[in-house]
Amino acid sequence: MYRRRVQIVGGSTYILSLPKSWAEKVDLKEGEELFVEELSNQALLIYAPERREQFSKAEISFTCKESRNFIERTIIAQYLAGKKEIVLHASDVECKKTLSSIADSLKKKVLGLEILEETSNDIVLGAILDTTFSDITHVINSMMKTIIYMLEDLAIGLRKNDLKIIKDIYQRDDYIDRLYLYSIRYLVNIYNMPTQERFNPSSSVHYALATKSLERIGDHVSAISKNLEVELVQSNINDKEKEGILNLINSIKDLESQILKLVLKFDGELLNEITEKAINLMNVESELRASLLKYSVNLSYVAESLRRIIAYSIDLLESVLDINVLQT
């Protein structure tokens, strides 16, 4: 941390010296223009726009002796760090084929990641992002709506014993994962965004926790659909147990719909009401799980996933409250 004393010149101009070590690190030149922006937490952001672009590109060399998972994670890490362009250098033609396969796979997992250029040994990936998600609340809104529709279709598929609907549900979880990765990229790069799109930086961690809770909820809805698929194929669910599962799924769907209203417009009374409802649903799930244990392991897994969805929903409510406190 640097400490500087403010000097006033001419009665109206405030002067603050910049740390020499920082100026040398960014290669600041005399007469160069800097941008100064006031942030929502009353801090100032000082930067040279030309320097910012220097850090928006990453170049990575691979021999492909690295595992496929390692290469994927390395590329995703650069995406999350906010790189607009990621250049992959392959050691040989065979490695280039491997990197092309990985890049095609990542396009399905990472929102906005596209192949811009290819040469004999290089692949250039670019983050071409949809302006629909220029605001973190839009990302959360989309994640929550997707989860609500997944729960709604889960109930329909179970009631009708429709395997096509059930199978479609767990495929939609990929979209939740893509939005989650995008949300982290957004939050990591909050200082690189136009001033009007920013919020209190202290809220970033709570937004990250909120989107993580939603990502985990999506995972468990997906897990429920996979376990129910097995049970429907084997015809292991009797009408009584099916009705118990359906009732809890519909109650959780209503819970998520109420949380979405809270995200869009905070209301303290509604928060208390939803929290009490979530706690009561935990008790309902405990009774359901005890009865499902008698029938099959897969059904007990369904109950466990329902419990975890409720628990992550309570975590989400805490994040919504924390965000509201910091924004008021």
Single out the residue of 285, 306, 172, 161 nearest to residue 231, CA to CA: 161
Is it the case that residue 290 has pLDDT exceeding 90?
Answer: no
CA distance 114 to 328: 39
* Cα 183 off chain centre by: 4
* Cα 26 off chain centre by: 32
Higher pLDDT: 155 or 328? It is 155
Q: Which domains does the chain have, with CATH numbers?
A: 7-53 (no CATH), 55-127 (3.30.110), 132-327 (1.20.58.220)
Phi, psi of 90 (to 5 degrees): -95, 145
State the pLDDT at residue 291.
Answer: 82
124, 85 contact by CB (below 8 A): yes
DSSP 89-118: EESSHHHHHHHHHHHHHHHHHSTTEEEEEE
State the pLDDT at residue 130.
Answer: 59
pLDDT digits (tens, 9 = 90+) for 175-229: 999 999 999 998 887 766 555 455 667 788 999 999 999 999 999 999 999 999 9
Tell me the average pLDDT across 99-127: 93
CA distance 120 to 97: 10
Rg (CA), the chain: 25
pTM of the model: 0.82
pLDDT digits (tens, 9 = 90+) for 80-90: 988 989 999 99
DSSP 196-216: GG---GGGHHHHHHHHHHHHH
The three-state secondary structure class of 167 is helix
Give 93's pLDDT tier (boundaries 50, 70, 90): very high
Give 128's pLDDT tier (boundaries 50, 70, 90): confident
pLDDT digits (tens, 9 = 90+) for 186-195: 888 776 655 5
205, 328 contact by CB (below 8 A): no
Written as six digits, the tokens of 211 are: 């989107």
Higher pLDDT: 185 or 40? It is 185
State the pLDDT at residue 4.
Answer: 84
Single out the residue of 102, 58, 61 nearest to residue 80, CA to CA: 58
Percent of the chain exceeding pLDDT 90 equals 58
Instruction: Return the ∠ at Cα 142 (arms to 107 and 154), rounded to 5°.
Output: 90
The mean-pLDDT minimum among 33-42, 230-239, 297-306 falls in: 33-42
State the pLDDT at residue 202.
Answer: 78
Specify which of 48-52, 152-156, 189-193 reaches the highest per-range mean pLDDT.
152-156
Specify which of 8-17, 42-51, 317-326 reaches the highest per-range mean pLDDT.
317-326
Written as six digits, the tokens of 48 are: 């040279």
228, 211 contact by CB (below 8 A): no
CA distance 28 to 31: 9
Tell me the average pLDDT across 256-284: 95
**What ranges make up the beta strands (E) of the chain?**
7-9, 13-15, 35-38, 44-47, 57-62, 85-90, 113-118, 122-127
Please give the mean pLDDT across all residues of the chain.
Answer: 88
